[in-house]
Amino acid sequence: MFFRHFSTSMEREEREEQPASDYASSHGGQSPVRHQHDGHELEPFQSGSKPAQPDTQPPGPITLKANRLASSPSSPAVPAASDTFAAHADDGYDSDSIEIEDAADEEANSLQRPLLGGGAGAPESTRGRKEVLGLAYMALSALGFSVMSVFVKIAGNTFPSTQVVFVRSVIQLICGVIGCLIVGVEPWGPPAVNKRLLLARGAAGAIGLGFYFFTLINMPLGDGTTIFFIGPAFTAIAAFLFLGEPFTVLDAFASVCCLAGVALVSRPEFIFSARDPTEGTGGIVYKYPRYIPSLSAVFAALVLSVAYCLVRIIGNRVHFMVHVTYFGLVSTGLSFVLLVAFESPVPVMSWTLEQWGIMLSVGIAAFAAQCFLNAGLQLANAGPATLMRNLDIVFAFLFGLWLFHEVPHSTSVIGAVLIGTTTAGVAFIKW
Task: Write out pLDDT tens, residues 133-174.
Answer: 888 998 999 999 999 999 999 999 999 999 999 999 999 999
Out of 7-21, 90-104, 280-294, give the one with best mean pLDDT: 280-294
State the alpha helices, DSSP H only, in 219-319: 221-228, 231-242, 249-266, 291-314
Q: How many CA within 13 A on the CB side of residue 197?
A: 17
SS3 category, 144: helix
Lowest-confidence pick of 59-68, 125-134, 361-370, 422-431: 59-68
Task: Write out pLDDT tens, residues 160-218.
Answer: 999 999 999 999 999 999 999 999 999 988 888 889 999 998 999 899 999 999 999 99
Sign of the four-CA dihedral 348, 351, 355, 357: positive
Q: Classify residue 76 by burial, with Cβ atoms within 10 Å: 0-12, 13-18, 19+.
A: exposed
DSSP E strands, 40-119 = 64-65, 85-86, 99-100
Is there a contact between 372 and 140 (Cβ–Cβ < 8 Å)? yes
**Length of the chain, in residues:** 431
Cβ contacts of 170 within 8 Å, gap of 6 or more: 328, 332, 363
Lowest-confidence pick of 14-18, 320-324, 344-348, 402-406: 14-18
* pTM over cut 0.85: no
- What percentage of residues in the chain have a pLDDT greater than 90? 34
Is there a contact between 319 and 4 (Cβ–Cβ < 8 Å)? no
Mean of pLDDT over the chain = 74
SS3 category, 219: coil
Task: Write out pLDDT tens, residues 378-399.
Answer: 787 766 777 788 889 999 999 9
What is the CA angle 194-200-202, rounded to 5? 110
Q: Which of the four pLDDT bands, split at 50, 70 and 90, describes residue 100?
A: very low
Task: Write out pLDDT tens, residues 224-268.
Answer: 999 998 888 888 888 888 888 888 898 889 889 998 999 889 877
